A and B are shown apart, each in its own frame.
Chain A
Amino acid sequence: MVSYAGMRSKGIFLAEKVRRVLLRETHGMKHVRRAWMLAPAVVCLLAVGCTSGLQKHATALSGATAPVVDGAEKAYQDANAIHDLRVDYDAAVEFDQKEPVYNPRKIKPLLSGKDMDARLAVLKALQLYVKDVVAVTNGTESKDLDDASKSMGDSLAGLGNTFLPEGSSSSTEQVTVNGGQPITKTTTVAADAISDGEKHGIAVAVNALGQYLGSRKVKKELPPLIEKMDPQIEQLCKFIESDVDVLKSQETIDYNFMINQQTLFLEQNKTMAVEARRVLIMQLPEIVRKEQAADEELDALKAATSNLFMTHHALAAEAQGNNPESLTMKVGELGTAGENLGKFYASLSSGK
């Protein structure tokens, strides 16, 4: 149980941590005023940090999805290819039968075009969902937002410099006049009311505000969508597992048929040409190797499917705020978020 007092002191600690990160980026204590201008950014970051847990889980989900999508697509194509090969063996057996008359036009694939299309469409929808979840959870930090914030910083500074009285800037240097003793000379020049540093500070604050508004939307709208999708992902995983069981069963049947037919053919035709017979005999271990490889592929797909379900379930738990590790994770993530903001600030200072 985390007490409210503890949470508040943790918040102060986080704000201080982010402020220090930003101070580091401003290259020294003379920019303290600029760093404190970023206080609103720190407050916004406290809210933004809450979405980065989702971002991590979304990235994990993306990693867990690829093996399922690739593995399932390959499994369906392989199952059809294996079954086609079995149908070729069928042709050799059925060709000379009197009843029924062999007709190659009657052959059928294991998975029809409709069966394949339905599965590939769902896998594509899954890919799109994961891509969008990753995009939405990453969406609070974007180049577009950086550009818009910089533009807003420039505009606000321009407005300030139009209305506010000019400031002054003085510089001190030592000069030597006619080989005599060095003297100190101070030069004062007129300067903009809003300095470059302050302009950058405004841009950072606007950027943080943009991230805050974006993350507020994400926090409000994304969790219900993820929760809604969780049972659908569970269903999808069950269907894929059911497919794997069926494909495994059919592949076993198809491979057994091919091996048994070829073995029987060789046993019934011991007088055939030695070289041709030798080639057919040597094909048998290769058929078994292919069967084992296909079996391992299906096992891997089943494991990947189970992993996908667990990963999405963890994302849904994070979205619901049921993850007890979230708070600890967010403490670390907030520091990262602060560093990201610092990097944006540094990019402004270096004129990128």
Chain B
Amino acid sequence: MNTTPVTPGTPPTIPLAPDVRQAYIDHYKQYEDAIEATNDPDLKASLMASQLAVEAVISLDNTARIQQNTAAYEALLKQMKTTNDGLAALQTQIKKITGDISTYAGILGGIVKVLSMVPGI
């Protein structure tokens, strides 16, 4: 159990520091355990309202983390594109080897045709 206190009423800085996030998650779970343990609608409604405030902070942090990752993905995409361009160039070079063989075969075929027209060979 995390010992970082969750101060009610004070809006935390988002994204949360890992220990603060864990404290909110622990706090949320305490509410959840209490909600699941009661079938008194009034108590349940009251616990759920309190849990909602904690949940809002975690959700906000989740959204911030998703957006942080989005920026990281965008940066990563640029790097991956460079590598993929290198691979595409390599594929072209390999195809060129086959293309060269075909070209030389064609040239040789042409030479044979020309020579066959020369009498005495």
- Chain A positions within 8 Å of B, measured between CB atoms, are 110-111, 114-115, 118-119, 121-122, 125-126, 128-129, 132-133, 135-136, 139-140, 142, 144-145, 147-149, 151-152, 154-156, 158-159, 162-163, 206, 210, 213-214, 217-218, 221-222, 225, 228-229, 232, 235-236, 239, 242-243, 246, 249-250, 253, 256-257, 260-261, 263-264, 267-268
* B112 & A151 in contact (Cβ 8 Å cutoff): no
The interface residues of chain A lying within 8 Å CB-to-CB of B99 are 148
- Chain A, residue nearest B32 (CB): A256
Query: B63-97 interface mask toward A, CB cutoff 8 Å, 1 = contact, 0 = none?
Result: 10111011011101101110110111011011101
> In the complex, A158→B94 CA distance in Å?
27
Closest chain A residue, CB of each to CB of B79: A232
**Could you say which residues of chain A place their CB within 8 Å of the CB of B98?**
142, 144-145, 148, 210, 214
List residues of chain B with CB under 8 Å of any chain A CB. Answer: 25, 28, 32, 35, 39, 41, 44-45, 48, 55, 58-59, 62-63, 65-67, 69-70, 72-74, 76-77, 79-81, 83-84, 86-88, 90-91, 93-95, 97-99, 101-102, 104-106, 108-109, 111-112, 115-116, 121
14 extra interface residue pairs, beta carbon distance < 8 Å, beyond A217-B94, A253-B55: A110-B66, A115-B66, A121-B77, A125-B81, A129-B80, A129-B87, A140-B94, A152-B104, A158-B109, A222-B90, A232-B79, A249-B25, A253-B28, A263-B44
Interface secondary structure of B, over-half rule: helix
B83 in contact with A232 (CB, 8 Å): yes
A149, B101: Cβ atoms closer than 8 Å? yes
CB pair A246–B55 under 8 Å, yes or no, is no
Q: Hey, which chain B residues are within 8 Å of A121, CB to CB?
A: 73, 77
Q: B112, A155: Cβ atoms under 8 Å?
A: yes
**Chain B residue at minimum C-beta to C-beta distance from A135:** B91
Residues of B within 8 A of A235 (CB): 72, 76
Residues on B with C-beta less than 8 A from A214 are: 94, 97-98
Which chain A positions have C-beta within 8 A of B63? 110
User: Which of B55, B90, B108, B116 has the most chain A CB within a 10 Å cutoff?
Assistant: B90
- In-complex Cβ contact of B102 among A118, A151, A225, A268 (8 A): A151
Q: A129-B84, A136-B94 are in contact. Are A162 and B108 (CB under 8 A)?
A: no
10 example contacts (A-B, Cβ-Cβ < 8 A) are as follows A133-B87, A148-B98, A154-B105, A162-B112, A210-B97, A221-B90, A242-B65, A253-B55, A253-B59, A257-B55
Q: Which residues of B contact A139 (CB under 8 A)?
A: 91, 94-95
- Asked whether B101 lies within 8 Å of A152 as measured between CB atoms, the reply is yes
Given A148-B102, A217-B90, do A246 and B121 touch, yes or no (CB 8 Å)? no
Contact call B45/A264, Cβ cutoff below 8 A: yes
Looking at the assembled complex, report how far the CB atom of A220 sits from the nearest CB atom of chain B, in whole angstroms. Answer: 9
Complex: how many Å from CA A222 to CA B86? Answer: 9
Closest chain-B Cβ to A94's Cβ sits at a distance in Å of 11
Closest to A216 in B: B97
Q: How far is the CB of A207 from chain B (nearest CB, A)?
A: 9
Residues of B within 8 A of A136 (CB): 87, 90-91, 94
- CB of A145 within 8 A of CB of B83, answer no
Across the interface, which residues of A come within 8 angstroms of B32, CB to CB?
A: 256
Closest to A209 in B: B101
Interfacial chain B residues near A149, Cβ < 8 Å: 101
With a cutoff of 8 Å between Cβ atoms, the chain B residues found around residue A253 in the complex are: 28, 55, 58-59, 62
Contact A158 B112 (CB under 8 A): yes
Interface contact B94-A156, CB-CB below 8 Å? no
Q: Which residues of B contact A133 (CB under 8 A)?
A: 87
List the A side residues contacting B67 at CB < 8 Å.
115
Q: Which residue of A lies closest to B114 (CB)?
A: A162
Interface contact A152-B77, CB-CB below 8 Å: no
Task: Output the residue of A118, A145, A159, A214 with the most chain B CB within 10 A.
Answer: A118
Give chain B nearest CB distance to A76 CB in angstroms. Answer: 10
Of B25, B69, B87, B102, the most chain A CB neighbours within 10 A belong to B87
* Docked complex Cα distance between A36 and B66 (Å): 64
Which of B69, B115, B121 has the most chain A CB within a 10 Å cutoff?
B69
Which residue from A163, A218, A239, A263 sits with its C-beta under 8 Å from B90?
Answer: A218
Do the beta carbons of B70 and A217 come within 8 Å of each other?
no
